[in-house]
Amino acid sequence: MDDLAFLDTNILVYAANEDSPYHASAKEVIRCVNSGKLAACLSSQVLSEFYATVTNPKKVSQPLRPAEAAEAVEGYLTSSIPKLHPDETTLALTLELAKRYQITGLDIFDAQIVATMVQNRIKTIYTANEDDFTGFAEIKTINPLR
């Protein structure tokens, strides 16, 4: 999996949110992944975060109904995009990263993404939130929405 990139939640959210100024760019990233032009993967955590975000009226202007969000997640689950799942060692590595980088609060979820990436030898994350990941020496960030 060394050549795969990891898709962060915000790429999926912007692709689903037609009101976002990043919608077209994010949709294009997903199209490139689905067509094989971009080798990328997702994690079960990202899909859960996607569901939580697109159904939350505090996060998106036009939240999806639960059935719509579930259908979108199921679409990703059945797609050919590789899916990564945490195993029994993911939390231990997440906590190791949290201690190393002095992670607090909700940033623990970004550390868990990095742990999942490290376990699967993924070195690059595609994200609009570069600042969330730039402190991690283990990975590099690319913002495909610029």
Strand 83-84 and strand 40-43: the pairing is parallel
- The count of structural domains within the chain is 1
pLDDT tens track for 3-20: 899 999 999 999 999 999
CATH code where residue 13 lies: 3.40.50.1010
pLDDT tens track for 22-55: 999 999 999 999 999 999 999 999 999 999 999 9
pLDDT at position 6, please? Answer: 98
Mean pLDDT of 93-109: 98
Its domain, for residue 108, covers 5-142
pLDDT at position 3, please? Answer: 85
Residue-averaged pLDDT of the chain = 96
Of the candidates 54, 64, 65, 43, the residue with the CA atom closest to the CA atom of residue 109: 43
Whole-prediction pTM: 0.95
